[in-house]
Structure 1
Amino acid sequence: MARAFLSSGDLIADRRASYADMLFESGDHVAAADLMRQALEIVPEWTAGLFRLGEMEDAAGDEDAAAETWRRLLELDPDDRFGATLKLAASGYALVPDNPPAAYVETLFDAYAPTFETALLEKLHYRVPELLANAIKAAAPGRRYHSMLDVGCGTGLMGDYFRTGVDHMAGMDLSEAMLQKAEEKHVYDRLFKGDINELDYPAGSADLIIAADVFVYVGDLDKAVSRLVAALSNDGLFAFSVETHAEEGELILQPSLRYTHSEDYVRRLLADHGLVPSTIDREAIRFDRGEPLQGLIVVSKRA
Structure 2
Amino acid sequence: MPAPLFLSSGDLIADRRYDFARDLQLRGDLMAAADLMTQAVERAPHFASAWFALGELKQQLNLHGEAIRAYRKAQEADPQDRHGAKLRLMRLGVETLSEMPPAYVRALFDQYAPSFEHALRTNLHYQGPELLLKAVLVACHGLKRPAFFKSAIDLGCGTGLAARAFAGNVDSFIGIDLSPGMLAQAQTTGLYHRLEAADMVEGLKREADAAFDLALAADAVIYLADLAPALRDIHRVLRPAGLVAFTTETHGGDGVIIGAGLRYAHGAAHVRAAIADAGLMPLSLEAASNRTESGVPVPGLIAVASKA
TM-score class, shorter: over 0.9
Secondary structure (helix, strand or coil) at the match of 2:5 reads helix
**Shift in Å at residue 15 of structure 1?**
2.6
**Shift in Å at residue 71 of structure 1?**
1.1
TM-score by length of 1: 0.94
Give the distance between the partners of 1:76 and 1:35, measured in 2 at CA.
Answer: 19
Secondary structure (helix, strand or coil) at the match of 1:235 reads strand
Aligned match of 1:232: 238
**Shift in Å at residue 2 of structure 1?**
6.5
**Shift in Å at residue 207 of structure 1?**
0.4
Out of 207, 211, 236, the position equivalent to 1:201 is 207
Secondary structure (helix, strand or coil) at the match of 1:204 reads coil
Identify the range of structure 1 (176-185 vs 74-83) with the bigger mean alpha-carbon deviation.
Answer: 74-83
What is the root-mean-square deviation in Å for CA atoms of aligned residues? 1.6
* CA displacement 1:132-177 (0-9 Å, x = unmatched): 0111122125422111000100010011122232221111101110
Aligned match of 2:277: 272
Aligned match of 2:59: 58
Out of 176, 180, 184, the position equivalent to 1:180 is 184
**Shift in Å at residue 73 of structure 1?**
1.6
Contact 1:2 1:52 in 2 (8 A): no
Give the distance between the partners of 1:12 and 1:77, measured in 2 at CA.
Answer: 20
Aligned match of 2:119: 119
- How many residue pairs end up in the alignment? 301
Q: Which amino acid aligns with 2:53?
A: R
Give the distance between the partners of 1:185 and 1:38, measured in 2 at CA.
Answer: 47
Give the distance between the partners of 1:302 and 1:197, measured in 2 at CA.
Answer: 18
Give the distance between the partners of 2:307 and 2:277, measured in 1 at CA.
Answer: 11
Q: Percent identity?
A: 42
* CA displacement 1:2-23 (0-9 Å, x = unmatched): 6332543433323322221122
Aligned match of 2:160: 156
Contact 2:97 2:225 in 1 (8 A): no
Secondary structure (helix, strand or coil) at the match of 1:112 reads helix
Q: Which amino acid aligns with 1:89?
A: M
* CA displacement 1:10-41 (0-9 Å, x = unmatched): 33323322221122122222221111111222
**Shift in Å at residue 83 of structure 1?**
1.3
* CA displacement 1:227-254 (0-9 Å, x = unmatched): 11111111100000110111x3411112
Q: Which runs of 4+ in 1 moved over 3 A?
A: 6-11
Secondary structure (helix, strand or coil) at the match of 1:19 reads helix
**Shift in Å at residue 43 of structure 1?**
2.2
Q: Which amino acid aligns with 1:236?
A: G
Q: Which amino acid aligns with 2:170?
A: V
Contact 1:80 1:104 in 2 (8 A): yes
**Shift in Å at residue 42 of structure 1?**
2.6
Contact 2:7 2:48 in 1 (8 A): no
Give the distance between the partners of 2:52 and 2:290, measured in 1 at CA.
Answer: 29
Secondary structure (helix, strand or coil) at the match of 1:104 reads helix
Q: Which amino acid aligns with 1:184?
A: T
Pair 1:76-2:80 in alignment: no
Give the distance between the partners of 2:290 and 2:115, measured in 1 at CA.
Answer: 19
Contact 1:2 1:51 in 2 (8 A): no
Q: 1:109 to 1:159 in 2, by over 3 A?
A: same
Q: Which amino acid aligns with 1:211?
A: A
* Alignment of structure 1 residues 1-303 onto 2, 5 Å: 3-5=4-6, 7-97=8-98, 99-141=99-141, 142-198=146-202, 199=204, 200-246=206-252, 248-303=253-308
Give the distance between the partners of 2:171 and 2:106, measured in 1 at CA.
Answer: 29
Secondary structure (helix, strand or coil) at the match of 1:12 reads helix
Contact 1:2 1:82 in 2 (8 A): no
